[in-house]
Amino acid sequence: MTEILQQPCGRAWIELDAGALYKNLAWFQKRAQNKQIIPVLKANAYGCGAGEILEILKDTDIQMIACACTGEAVFFRAKGWTKDILILGGTFAQDLPLLEAYHLTQAVVDHAYAEMLEESGVRCDVHIAVDTGMHRIGFDPEDITEIEKVFASTRLHVTGMFTHLCVSDRRENSSYTRKQICRMNALTDCLRTCGYDPGLVHISATYGIVNYPDIREDGARLGIGLFGVLNNEEDCRKYRRVLHPVLSLHARIASVRSLRAGEYAGYAMAYQAEKDETIAVISIGYGDGLPRDFSRHGAYVLVRGMKARLIGRICTDQALIDVTGIGAMPSDTVTLIGRDEREEITVGMWAEWEDTITIDVLTRLSGRPQRIIKTAAGRN
């Protein structure tokens, strides 16, 4: 049972809905036809808070998590995660001893990297990355000889193989995705025929599970979808009945003041009032993850269940909003992502305002806002 942490009391905070995360995990497990789910908690768990998300996952049957680098993996060990951790990116020479010291599983990104690992003398479990068409990392699937060398190593123990689908988010690209899947399956079949055990084979990430649930694989990596979010607002709306947002972002009103018609507000006189207005200073800024020019894109926040548009340039620690007619008061809660009465602002809406994707929005949330686990509900 996840413990309820202290209630929000700071200038800005992020609430994490543990019950929503459990529901998302259950849906993806069912969608993936009960393959092993590997939550990917890179980039501070996509901005949600790696330590807090890890605490929630300790109440599940997850056997392996993945991250981007050694520093993240060591952090998870320090937080008490005793099960497998897969590092998806390269570990550089000076950090290689950490792989053995912390019992970490390392992705082998190409044959040159395999040689470096071998020559270092480190002993560790590895997953072999395969380049089936993204051309970022991985062995060429036709280069069987180099792949066999990894299996032949006396220091590197192959416990898995994986690839990454680069266009699985759109079904219209299905022919390319199917080609990637076929190349991976052909490789693993060939290796088995040659007497090698490829271990845990994982091909899908979030969109692979969503759009290609029939992929032949042993496991699937679950990134952004774990948090109830897909790449854009259109996709989020499509799956809103089954995916539940885990993160909401809040701040407080620090000050309320009058702005007369013709007066300017904020840096560089970027905003000029066309009529008499009531404005408020809120306790959050680009140091917390807001884009500096957010107000130029029509962005707004929620105060007392009503929309309040952002005005002027965002500051490092503060921002200005128009609260005319809202009756806002100092210390009122401001919702930047999440629901307030009948109104809601989603991560997908932020992405539309910024002309980007939701992952970009979330991973830019800084470590400064306090992360709070909202519920203590067990797995659903």
Beta bridge partners of 40: 66
E strand intervals along the chain: 12-16, 36-39, 64-67, 84-87, 105-108, 124-129, 156-162, 200-204, 219-222, 247-259, 264-265, 271-272, 277-282, 300-303, 306-311, 319-322, 333-340, 343-345, 370-373
Annotated catalytic residue 267: yes
- The catalytic position among 30, 79, 238, 267 is 267
- Listed residue (251, 282, 245, 252) closest to 358, CA to CA: 245
SS3 171: helix
Angle (nearest 5°) at CA 358 between 284 and 340 = 55
- Does residue 299 contact residue 290 with C-beta atoms inside 8 Å? no
CA–chain centroid gap for 181, Å, is 24
- Listed residue (99, 2, 47) closest to 374, CA to CA: 2
Element (H, E) at 280: strand 277-282
SS3 313: coil
For residue 28, CA distances in Å to 20, 42, 205 come to 12, 19, 11
DSSP code of residue 195? T
Structure tokens at 330: 């100092």
Distance CA 64, CA 348 (A): 28
Annotated catalytic residue 286: no
- Does residue 117 contact residue 157 with C-beta atoms inside 8 Å? no
- The catalytic position among 42, 196, 286, 374 is 42
Assign residue 262 a region (left: φ > 0; alpha: ψ between -120 and 50; beta: otherwise). left
Q: Which residues are catalytic?
A: 42, 267
